[in-house]
Structures are given as C-alpha cells and as structure tokens.
Amino acid sequence: MDTASPQISTDQRPVIRQLDDAAINRIAAGEVVERPASAVKELVENAIDAGARRIGIEIADGGKTLIRVTDDGCGMTADELPLALSRHATSKIDGTDLLNIHSFGFRGEALPSLGAVGRLTLQSRAKGFEACELSVDGGVMSATKPCALNGGTVVTLRDLFFATPARLKFLRSDRAEMMAISDVIKRLAMAEPSVGFTLRDVSAGGDRVTFRVDPETGDLFDALRGRLGRVMGAEFVDNALPIDAEREEIRLTGYAALPTYSRGNAVMQHLFVNGRPVRDKTLIGALRGAYQDFLSRERHPAVALFVDCDPHKVDVNVHPAKSEVRFRDPGLVRGLIISALRHALAEAGHRASTTVAAETLGAMRPEQPPTATGTPRIYQMDRPSLGARQAAFGAQTPQPAAPSSGFAELGQSWSGRVVEESPQGLEETPAEEPAHLPLGAARGQVHENYIIAQTNDGIVIVDQHAAHERLVYEKLKAQMAENGVAAQALLIPEIVEFSADDMTQLLALSDDLTKMGLTIEPFGGSAIAVRETPAILGEVNATALLQDILDELSDFGSSQLVREKIEAILSRVACHGSIRSGRRMRAEEMNALLREMEATPHSGQCNHGRPTYVELKLSDIERLFGRT
C-alpha cells in the first residue's frame, strides 16, 4: 500500500531552504553533545588545548543543571569571545591540512552547540588583557562585558538541553550521568599526566570532591605510572608490565596487566592515539589477539596503551565526537600491538599477579574476636633464625614408628613431607633443595594435586595439573611454530558461494590462511574453492568456518579464528596429556616441575588465564595466626 511521506506535500514541489543558525547549531549539538559527559569532554579538552596545568570541574545534578570548567590556560580576549561562539571557528588549525592535527579539538563546533541547547557563559582573561564575559541563552548571544577574573577561562553551562526538552527524556539518573562524567575525566587524566584535575559534585548546595589528581613529575614512564596508580589503582601498576616498542615510526607505550589480573568486562581497557582517548575496533581486536592465548573469551585484559605516530598516518576526523580514528596502515599498528604485548608477557616468565595471594589470604583469614578495647588481640612471638628453623625441620622429620605406637599412621609412607630415601643404616636428613629460587623447593604434596614448596621468605602452593598443562601447551606451540601447520587436502574441494565483497576480503587473507593450513582460491564468479584444511581440526565445515572469519573481520578488522581453533585443539591435547589430579608425585618430579615452570614463559597462568600457583609470604601467614 502506498503511503504519502509526512515530510513531503502532495500538492506542491518541496522547496530547498537555508536553515537558520539556531537550527544548525541544535542539529550539530545532537551529534557532538549526546549527554552531559559529552559536554564535559569538549570543555575539558578545550582547557587542555589552551595549555592549562590545573583544571577544575564542578557538576550539579549529574550535569543537567550545572557544568562549570575552570582552567589556568592562555585565556581569550574580548574580541575573541564572540568568534569562539561562532560555528567552525577555532585556533587549533588553519584549514589547509586536516590531517596535521596536534590538539584535542579542531572542528569548532562544541561551544556554539552547547550555547544552542543550554545557557552558556564564558569568562576569560588573556595575559596582558582585561577579563571579559559573554553569555549565550538558547542560541541568543548577549553583548560582551567586563568581569572579575585573575586569568584563564571559566565556562559555565546551566540547564543543559532546556532548548531541546525531548533530549532530557533520554538522559539517565543523576548518579549514572555523574559516573559517565567521572569516566571521561579519568581517561583525560591518563592522557595528560602533567595536568591536575579536580572533579566536584555541588548538587544541592554541597561541595564534595569525587576525583582529584595533582600534576605528575618525572619522565614519561614515571609520570604515567604515578597517574595510572591514582586513576586505575595501585594493584594495576603492581601487576602491569611496561610496554615500549616502535616499528616504522609508530611507537607503542604504556602498561599491560598480567593475564591473571584480568576482568569480567572491558572497563579497564584504555586506548589512546596521539594522546586522544579512542574506542577503535582495530586496537581492540589487536588487544584481543595479543591475549587470546592466555585468557578465555569471557575475560578481558586491563591495559593503558598509547599509540603515537605522525598525524598524517591517522585520520581523527571520522566522527563528530572524535572517539573513532582510522589508520592508514591498520595492519602495521595491529602487528605492533600484538608483538609488543606478547614479548612483554613472555619476558614476565612465570610471574602471576599479586592479587592472587591477596585473595587467598582473604579467604583464609579467620574472624578476629575483638578485645575489651575493641581491637583484635595481637600475639607477639619472635621469629626463629634460619639455623633454628633448619634444626626444627630436621627434628620434625617423621621416623618409622614402633608397632605399638598409637601414631603409626604418621609413618613415612603416609607423610606429606618430601624426604629423599637415605642409605640403610644412615640417619634420614632432609634433602638440600634450592629454596632461594623463585618457586622454592618442594616440601610435600597434598590431596594428590597441590605441591607445597618452601622459599626463603614464604611458601608456594602449585596446582600441578594446571601448571603442567601450560608447560605441555607451550611445547606443542613451539613444535607447531618449528614444523608448521600440517594441512590435509580434500578429495573433492568444497565450493562456497559468497558476495563479491566477502570474496574479496577472504582472498586478501589467503596467504595468511595458507600458513595456518587453510588453502582457498577463486572458483569463478563469487565462489571460493576450499582445497586444504588444517589436519589437526579433523572434519571441518568450510562454509561455517569462512563465514565466522568474515564476521570476525567485520567486528575487529582482522581474523585470528583459524589460529584460535588450532590453539584450542593444542590446549585440549595439553590438558589430556598433562599430569592429572590424583597422581602422587615423587620429590624429584615435583622439583623438576617447579624448575621447568621458572624457565617457561606464561607458566604463571594456565591456558584459560587462571593462576597456576599462589605465593604466600611468611609475614602474611604469621598475621593469620596473630603473631605480628
């Protein structure tokens, strides 16, 4: 049934007309200012571009009634204020080269857009000039007048979206909007460690500081580490690896957390391009590819990574909010991220995150009954010397009990102690094992699955199955890398029909797929012939496999699906071929496992990202028993 368009009159031809500035600004505001957090982002970025070293942000009612940004930047003169509120007026670029962008802002849309949908007031003072003020109320600009201000700029935005009340219905609660604003400030704070930020909630006449960081000093990594510790938490920097790599004038810096410090969502993934916080699918796909061998799909790594390159190699003018970028050579950036992160994780060796031990101690800590003073009772006890501990160890070595003893069940055959067999007639002594090594010396096995090792300053508990599974898996991967992926030729090639665009994407990957044992070639028209598949995958549904590869290309811009499937098979082989739970191990086997873990990269976590061992310091154990 034909239905007339409500926008077009049937009795006359539609007429093209020029919209007025107020309508144009409201339309632009719909792209630039989606919510209060978007307005805060634009105003704070302007302050950073103005050279500010301290920025204060005041928010009331989640930004719906008040947003005020104060900075100590270069300021503006009375003549520049009206120009700053004009569309596409900016001091960031001259318009001759839209790729040579070194600032956050450059479009010149934020201030006029905010003035079109709210009540905006600008107060500014440039060095050597008088302070001045200018207001815009729903797109209507007032005259410039003098004001009192020492320096810098103060931007006050009240009653956001009062001119477009329909937008107010789409805003979330004050608490949710405040959390979004805080997230924006934290991302910008990570991008600019040398700038101080203070976020205040002044709702209902209050004045509560919700976030504050002072300017950091030191070199690049010292300043960034200090800022990340204050924004992402001290646990992150304690369990993160420094990243510094460069390839073809593209540099990658920042910090990436150990796999055992993963999260259930992606909230701790912060990516920056030339200092600008972005959400780019190329970078996210590269991050996923770098960790895919260490984390399951439902776990997400924690990172803060900075990609710096020539502005001409990346286009930031892709989205009005400047949250997306487009690289000239995305494959180069992806390869740099994957190789740099995997190299750093390999150098970490058997290291696992410190939070594993903290969580273990938290689970073991008993309830402390309060004393009369309200504080837990502390038991003081001197720590014995090393010689005293060794003597006590020898004295406590279980000896074969007499048949009449009531403690016959504690004989050597049932003991969890690791003691080497001594020659007949000689006194049994503890084995001399290298307790000074990172994972120490094995002292026993409990529940036929957990190895207890002693270090110089604590104990290590190892999950023998998970640890051996990672060791076998790394060996299998090394063998595959050395010998290549075996391919099996199909007796009758499988012909799969695709659209012309999909076929072009797949054929562009044909060389990479061939290296992984999947051989494809054009078969006329838009058909593709699958001639070989990876032998380790067995029977393969070629149509479903190629479609999954296309879906991954659409989501992340690249595909590691075939590699992931092969490595998943290797992981299952490693799981079935490793030491099973319930097997009793001899002393030399346990110590050999510990030494191999120390020498194998990534042995701190199993194939699914779970820790393979827990290290407890002696001081922490003594606190469990109230000895400190």
**Which residue type, as a one-letter code, is found at position 623?**
R
Judged against a pLDDT cut of 80, whether residue 164 lies above it is answered with: no
Helix, coil or strand: residue 444: strand
Rounded Cα distance between 617 and 456, Å, is 9
Mean pLDDT of the region 402-406: 42
269-273 and 303-308 strand pairing: parallel
Q: What is the DSSP letter of 82?
A: H
Q: What is the pLDDT of residues 308-332, one digit of tens each?
A: 999 888 888 776 666 788 888 888 9
Choose the most confident range, by mean pLDDT, from 123-137, 404-418, 439-453, 505-519: 123-137
CATH of domain 220-347: 3.30.230.10
> Does an H or E element contain 413, and which?
none
Instruction: Tell me the pLDDT of the chain averaged across its residues.
Output: 79
The owner of tokens 């659409």 is 554
Looking at the DSSP bridge assignments, the partners of residue 605 are 611
Mean pLDDT of the region 263-285: 88
Length of the chain: 628
The owner of tokens 């690249």 is 558
Of the candidates 132, 106, 123, the residue with the CA atom closest to the CA atom of residue 157: 123
Rounded Cα distance between 367 and 46, Å, is 52
- The answer to whether 626 and 378 have CB atoms below 8 angstroms apart is yes
Choose the most confident range, by mean pLDDT, from 19-23, 160-164, 357-361, 389-393: 160-164
How high is the pLDDT of residue 305? 95
Helix, coil or strand: residue 427: coil
How high is the pLDDT of residue 558? 62
Q: What is the pLDDT of residues 95-150, one digit of tens each?
A: 566 666 767 766 667 888 888 888 999 999 999 999 999 999 887 888 899 999 99
Residue 362 CA to its chain's centroid (Å): 25
458-463 and 487-497 strand pairing: unpaired
Helix, coil or strand: residue 215: coil
> Measured between alpha carbons, how far is residue 627 from residues 12, 380, 457, 482, 620 in Å?
92, 5, 15, 53, 10
Rounded Cα distance between 347 and 112, Å, is 51
Rounded Cα distance between 57 and 40, Å, is 8
Long-range contacts formed by 11-20: CB under 8 A, 24+ apart: none
- The answer to whether 338 and 290 have CB atoms below 8 angstroms apart is yes
CATH of domain 21-213: 3.30.565.10
**Which residue type, as a one-letter code, is found at position 556?**
F
Judged against a pLDDT cut of 50, whether residue 598 lies above it is answered with: yes
Residue 337 CA to its chain's centroid (Å): 13
DSSP states along 288-346? HHHHTTTS-TT-B--EEEEEE--GGGEE-TTSTT----EESSHHHHHHHHHHHHHHHHH
Judged against a pLDDT cut of 60, whether residue 7 lies above it is answered with: no
Helix, coil or strand: residue 6: coil
Mean pLDDT of the region 68-93: 84
Q: Which two tokens stand for residue 287?
A: 């991050």
**In which band, very low, low, confident or very high, does the pLDDT at 407 lie, cut at 50, 70 and 90?**
very low
Q: Which of 279-288, 431-440, 505-514, 591-600 has the lowest mean pLDDT?
A: 431-440
Rounded Cα distance between 260 and 490, Å, is 41
Of the candidates 29, 122, 34, 39, the residue with the CA atom closest to the CA atom of residue 83: 122
Maximal C-alpha separation, the chain? 116
For the chain, give every residue range classified as CATH 3.30.565.10: 21-213
**In which band, very low, low, confident or very high, does the pLDDT at 379 lie, cut at 50, 70 and 90?**
very low
How high is the pLDDT of residue 105? 64
Sign of CA dihedral 202, 203, 209, 210: negative
- The answer to whether 88 and 109 have CB atoms below 8 angstroms apart is yes
Rounded Cα distance between 468 and 579, Å, is 6
DSSP states along 254-286? EEEE-GGG-BSSSTTEEEEETTEEE--HHHHHH
Q: Which of 27-31, 32-36, 346-350, 597-601 has the lowest mean pLDDT?
A: 27-31
Helices within 160-218 (DSSP H only)? 165-168, 174-191
How high is the pLDDT of residue 243? 94
Fold of 434-628: formyl-coa transferase, domain 3 (3.30.1540)
Of the candidates 255, 271, 267, the residue with the CA atom closest to the CA atom of residue 299: 267
Strand arrangement of the beta sheet that strand 441-446 belongs to: 441-446, 450-455, 458-463, 613-617
Mean pLDDT of the region 378-383: 48
* 580 vs 408, residue with greater confidence: 580
* 395 vs 294, residue with greater confidence: 294
Looking at the DSSP bridge assignments, the partners of residue 197 are 55, 213
Q: Judge residue 55's burial from the number of C-beta atoms within 10 Å of its C-beta, 0-12 exposed, 13-18 middle, 19 or more buried.
A: buried
Mean pLDDT of the region 209-237: 91
How high is the pLDDT of residue 560? 64
Mean pLDDT of the region 261-270: 88
**Which residue type, as a one-letter code, is found at position 266?**
A
Mean pLDDT of the region 30-37: 79
Calculate the CA dihedral of residues 534, 538, 544, 546 and round it to 10 degrees. 0
* 259 vs 188, residue with greater confidence: 188
Mean pLDDT of the region 35-51: 91
Judged against a pLDDT cut of 90, whether residue 390 lies above it is answered with: no
Of the candidates 79, 153, 162, the residue with the CA atom closest to the CA atom of residue 115: 162
Query: How much of the chain, in percent, has pLDDT values that exceed 70?
Result: 75
DSSP states along 495-508? EEE--HHHHHHHHH
CA atoms within 13 A on the CB side of 356: 22
How high is the pLDDT of residue 285? 86
Judged against a pLDDT cut of 80, whether residue 182 lies above it is answered with: yes
Q: Which of 304-318, 422-436, 504-518, 594-608 has the lowest mean pLDDT?
A: 422-436
- The answer to whether 180 and 37 have CB atoms below 8 angstroms apart is yes
For the chain, give every residue range classified as CATH 3.30.230.10: 220-347
For the chain, give every residue range classified as CATH 3.30.1540.20: 434-628
**In which band, very low, low, confident or very high, does the pLDDT at 401 lie, cut at 50, 70 and 90?**
very low
